[in-house]
Amino acid sequence: MEKKGNILMQRYEIGKLLGQGTFAKVHHARNLKTGESVAIKIIDKQKVMKVGLIDQIKREISVMRLVKHPNVVQLHEVMASKSKIYFAMEYIRGGELFNKVSKGRLKEDAARKYFQQLVAAVDFCHSRGVYHRDLKPENLLLDEFGNLKVSDFGLSALIDSKRQDGLLHTTCGTPAYVAPEVINKRGYDGEKADIWSCGVILFVLLAGYLPFHDSNLMEMYRKISKGEFKCPQWFPPEVKKLLSRILDPNPSTRITVSRIMENSWFRKGFKRIETPDLDLDEQSPRSILEIDDSDTESCSGKNKEDAQPAVAKKPNCLNAFDIISLSPGFDLSGLFEKDRSNSAKSEAWFTTQMPPSMVVSKLEELAVMESFKIKKKDGIVKMQGSKGGRKGQLAIDAEIFEVTPSFHMVEVKKTAGDTMEYVKFRDQELKPSLKDVVWSWEGSGTNLTQQTLPEENVS
């Protein structure tokens, strides 16, 4: 671990080891500025790259930025060094829910409370287009107040992961908790698969054992596929009925999250929690993956791999290769990005011969008209809508790059919210408001590289 003594990045004092896996270790740590306890997840960059898991790390960061909920473990920040990636996360003191269940079944009120918090967290994740895909008691933590926190989004999927049929196709999860349609490998709805796992967890909380357990894995899969389980006699009739709707092997007739939350047994003592707005200052998930391997060495010379903040920025100036790489005719992203077609709608570029101050001024005028919050930082204008959309508040970044002193390119991209709402806003509000400063939009029928650049750019 890169550290100077027990201090990481002059921000955290590293403490005892909490856990260890194949590619990562988790340590307790203390924030030197606030004194707050955190958990530092330390990932070996070379190991994850060697086995092709870098996309999984990207996805985990993206997901954890999206799901800011009281019943989800929070990601505070991401840092990186030459050989390590560091997650600074919320420290949960109470351990896994699995440890509590392993001692025996829970009382009805306790089981209901945990189930309510689980469903509330899952409902929020789904509203943000996030599917966990590995819900089980081992991934549910308890804080010092006994509140449940969903953790480990390493196998999660974003809505953009769906294929043209609208379904997910990656088989993953823990066998005893996985939905039958996931096992059958015919494509599945991420929401319905998570709901099934929630049902298995509810059964385990109340029974103290698994509904589909069998020493023979194929026999267990057969029971799961048929939905064959039997509730103990001590289960309340309402719970038996609810479980029969959740553990329905047919995903098309399986109960939805909204229906679960309307159930009379579920609603007893349940209170909805208001979720906070998305923070405009949050770090982009791409930054830790764009860090160069030639990170700055420590000033002391003793530690040549001191961690540096993972705030990798695009160059302030664009060269000819940068410009060509943005042209659809020279787009090489297909060699590296599998889902380029899904993400293309989330970003656009335009060029301008107006000074950056005028571009920013136009964006500020639009923000006022559309009731957007706006922040400016390091050449990036961040805009966040005040209305809650299908997947939360729409958030947009506009970053300005200098091609020549009198010629700039502006990248506009969605950082949160629904893609279709973003496209509608971009085409109906953003583009018309910027018509006086835009020279050319990328993809508007005339590509940047097909036009005559300002004379001073020719060499």
Q: Is the pLDDT of residue 3 over 70?
A: no
Q: Are residues 332 and 192 in the same domain?
A: no
Q: What is the CATH number of the domain that holds 397?
A: 3.30.310.80
Q: Residue 66 falls within a domain, yes or no?
A: no
Q: Residue 27 falls within a domain, yes or no?
A: no
Rounded to whole angstroms, the Cα distance separating 215 from 217 reads 6
Q: Are residues 108 and 256 in the same domain?
A: yes
Selection from 64-68, 124-128, 203-207 with the highest mean pLDDT: 203-207
Contact indicator for 334, 347 with CB cutoff of 8 Å = no
Q: Residue 114 falls within a domain, yes or no?
A: yes
Question: Which one of 55, 123, 134, 295 is the catalytic residue?
Answer: 134
Instruction: Look at the block and give the residue holding tokens 């860090």.
Output: 291
Rounded to whole angstroms, the Cα distance separating 378 from 313 reads 9
Q: Write down the pTM of the prediction.
A: 0.63
Q: Are residues 362 and 255 in the same domain?
A: no
What is the overall mean pLDDT for the chain? 78
Q: Residue 51 falls within a domain, yes or no?
A: no
Domain encompassing residue 220: 97-267
C-beta neighbour count of 211 within 10 angstroms = 21
Selection from 18-22, 137-141, 272-276 with the highest mean pLDDT: 137-141
Ramachandran area for residue 129 (φ above 0: left; ψ -120 to 50: alpha; else beta): left
**Residues annotated in a binding site:** 41
Q: Residue 36 falls within a domain, yes or no?
A: no
Q: Are residues 236 and 102 in the same domain?
A: yes
Contact indicator for 331, 453 with CB cutoff of 8 Å = no
Question: Which of 201, 232, 267 is the last residue in one of the domains?
Answer: 267
Number of structural domains (the chain) is: 2
| 306 is annotated as an active-site residue | no
Average of per-residue pLDDT across 403-412: 77
Poorest-pLDDT segment among 8-22, 28-42, 52-66, 275-289: 275-289
Q: What is the CATH number of the domain that holds 232?
A: 1.10.510.10
Q: Residue 84 falls within a domain, yes or no?
A: no
**Residues annotated in a binding site for ATP:** 41
Q: Are residues 239 and 329 in the same domain?
A: no
User: Residues 182-188: contacts with CB within 8 Å, 24+ apart?
Assistant: 183/221, 183/224, 183/225, 184/225, 187/163, 188/251
**What is the per-residue pLDDT across 272-317, written as a single tens digit (0 to 9) for each?**
776 655 554 444 433 444 433 333 322 223 333 344 433 333 334 5
Start-to-end CA distance of the chain, whole Å, equals 47
